[in-house]
A and B are shown apart, each in its own frame.
Chain A
Amino acid sequence: MRILRSVRHKVCADGSFMKEFLLDAPVTTGFFSYLRHFGSVEALPGLGEGFYKFEKPEWFSIKGFAGDTTVEVRFRKEVMDLTVDFVYLLFASYREETPDLSVLKLRERAISERVRKHLHGT
């Protein structure tokens, strides 16, 4: 699955920066299950084809409906430059079969250090 382009953006009331991304294929329940490896996922499976929200504290959140070809990503603005590539990587690396998470985990660790340093100075 790939992000094709950003179709909408706004600065939210809480200061976060929202981008709506158009995907090359509908997002699946399996994709949100895969995201659990990197943060928490809330699910309301009874609504439409299922509403899902992934939270990676201090990085970003991703929400959307299964079967939809757009998702809304809300970035913590201060570290958006550090984390935006990881969003693209999450989508591009997803496979229906058991994905290999090793590269993503390495990348996540490296970005985490930079995010922590930027936000907390440690």
Chain B
Amino acid sequence: MTIVLFLVMIAAYGFGAFVALLGGRGPIGRWLVAAGAVIGAGAGCAFGAVVIISGQPFTLSIPELLPIAGGLALRLDPLGAFFLVVIGVGAIPAAIYGAGYTKAYENGRASLRLLGVMFNLFLLAMSLVTLADNVLTFLLMWEGMSLTSYFLVITESSEDGTLRAGNWYAAMTHAGLALLLAAFVLLMNGGAGAFADLRSSAGTLSPEARNLIFVLALLGFGSKAGIVPLHVWLPRAHPAAPSHVSALMSGVMIKLGVYGLLRVALDLLGGGPSWWGALVLGLGVASALLGVLYALMEHDLKRLLAYHSVENIGIIFIGLGAGLIFHSSHLMTLAALGFIGGLYHTINHASFKGLLFLGAGSVLHATGTRNMEEMGGLIKRMPWTALFFLVGSAAISALPPLNGFASEWLVFQSLLGGLNLPAPEIALTIPLAVGMLALTSGLAAACFVKAFGISFLAIPRSHEAENAHESPLSMRVGMMILALACVALGLAPFAVVPVLGGVLAGLGGLPDTRPVFTLDLSVHAPAGFAQISPTWIALGLLILLVLVPLVMRFMRVNRKLRVGDTWGCGRIGQTPRMEYTATSFAEPLRRVFAELYRPTKELSIDFHPESKYFVKSIKYSSRITPLFDRVLYDPLLRLVQRISRQVRRIQAGSLHLYLMYVAVILILLLIAARWF
């Protein structure tokens, strides 16, 4: 059964890539490429589900395929299977959507061949990351995933800034790879790279080595996940990539950083001292808060969403951090609750962030711009996209009864369990984390009122927005699947939480928490700490939404409705220039957090020559340079450039000189080989 699904998955992705290689153009070509990805992702999803439900890992080892370092070893345990399901949840709608979305590339703006091949290979590489069972396979697939996604980012390479975004991504991801390589070499400790061996030998490593491995893995996987301060590639690469690729990278790929961290820290190393958890928690809080604060100031719809990915990864890390802290204190049920919250948020973020990126793609498709200040009024022109984007906005703002609330509630509850901690110095930092998490979710709600309100409501702010059109069916179907997933995951935490408990059972000595979190229509935190039932809340809201108008009709309320002009304080004729803009919407928060943003303002007023009471034109511009660009990356880049200028001195361009370098190095190496 599992082997069939595994082979179908590989074959379907292979088929998709092959069709794309033949051209993948025209409606049939694009649909065949998408079909490969959909079937592959569907098979992967089913494969993962079978492994999770049966609890039986799937193993496949082909040492002959790569006769070094243990060859190709594959094993799918429930943890990997969960992430395989997440890939499926993100990839199926993205591929369907992509079939319609890539029509815009038929005119030669980008290579459909490269896009189709890389899209399928990217999905395949991501799927195999979750299956990897030794260091070699893992790193190979990890690098495959990074390379294919790099090519996806630079799909629209003729656009301004795309290649630059690609460079940022490539640099960050390879810095991460180097750290991972170091972590795994230390972890292997001279032995073979099979994960089973690493797991059993991890206990014999010295505490210093274990700490070093953990920090290297945290930074390496963190650069992929996009935690602060390694998040800088997200707001650059996500807007540059085609929207269905952004949805996949943001919804799914960065989650594999979470997978890697769980695999190494919890599974292979088996947990560690409490400062590991505190570090993860602290990075999570910083990412969540800075992510949402920079998102608020962003008017490029896709960049805004990219910053929200940083925020949500932060929330996931808060859950994982709480889990690791409890794990080190042997409060295993609470630890499981934290990890469950993190994993639940992982799949939730895959659904709502995927949905929002697809929605942003539809808007981009319809208006040709990502700038919110040029949108507006789209709810009347693209009603379906607007509805789906609204669902995604409400879900990411953690509004009940949608899925964002369910997972944030679990993360909150795991933090509230912090009062059971024996170590007061850590227990006392937990309330701060609670406060910051609450601030984050409040700011996220504010940000999505801005994102939805400015882009979709009121009067169109530009000619393009006025003539916007609804997206084709394929794109709407892609968004609809994810919107339904948001609703379903929000209504059914009672079903999801026990599954996640089963996924975590046994990892790093975690108990099977399936009996603790009972399977009725509500979710209990441990020991009856708290209980909610989003299902009943949703039902209550639904009944009231029907009942209130009925009662109003019964009470003979005046039901007349007249449509008139907006009241303009006596002024007739309302124009888009009178509307609130995204900048003005965010202005109060910009002032409140001015210490962080340090905005630079430029105001120039051109007065009429006769009198300064008549203004001819006003020009206002304001810029915000993100904190870590300012204090970390700008100096770093300057340093790199200075070094490369020095290095250039020995590159005179003369072939003879280069030949001499080769000869000198050869002689030096020979001498070195003789001596050592």
Decide if A and B are genuine partners: no
